[in-house]
Copies of this chain bind each other. A is one copy, B any other.
Amino acid sequence: MPLRSDWSGDTCAVARGADVFADPWSVLVLREVFVGNRRFEGIRSVLGAAENVLSERLRRLVAEGLLRREAYGSGVRPRQEYRLTPAGADALPVLNALAVWAAKHTASPTTAEMHLYCTTCGQESTSADWCTTCIRPLTVSTTAWERPTAPGVRIDLAESFAS
């Protein structure tokens, strides 16, 4: 018996989207790849996930077309890292929408909070996918995150999608 119901073939796009993103580990793996943390050990170390939990999520995100594997290094043993596909890059508004909602409606354990910036105009945006200052779409190519763990530091997400 599967762990939960399957909505991947549902008529409703909300349900099909929930089928992909309604797993906290998958969302957090994507978050790590967005900020440039692309390798198994690096992701595992930040998330504190068990190896089998992380392997399963990476496998599923590759199968669902959000991540792709890419070889790196020149050693004897081939090594792989994970890169966003275009479908993975398009997941940014989902993560942004979660962050905007949670920053407003849940209690943070620190005074620092996550902020979204448009790298085109440099201003903060309160929209998940639109710069509310210069009125352009916010995509992985035009978004920076300031994370609560490093106030004042803006991580340009465009680099996560560069090849």
Q: Which residues does A use to contact B, with CB under 8 Å?
A: 4-5, 7-24, 26-28, 31, 65, 87, 90-91, 93-110, 112-114, 127-130, 132, 135, 137, 147-149
- When C-beta atoms are compared, the residue in chain B nearest to A147 turns out to be B12
Residues B93 and A17 in contact, CB atoms below 8 Å apart: no
Within the oligomer, what is the number of copies of this chain? 2
Residues A98 and B13 in contact, CB atoms below 8 Å apart: yes
Residues A24 and B4 in contact, CB atoms below 8 Å apart: yes
**Apart from A9-B109, A22-B27, A93-B101: 6 A-B pairs, beta carbons within 8 A:** A5-B24, A11-B108, A14-B98, A15-B102, A21-B21, A22-B24
Residues A99 and B17 in contact, CB atoms below 8 Å apart: yes
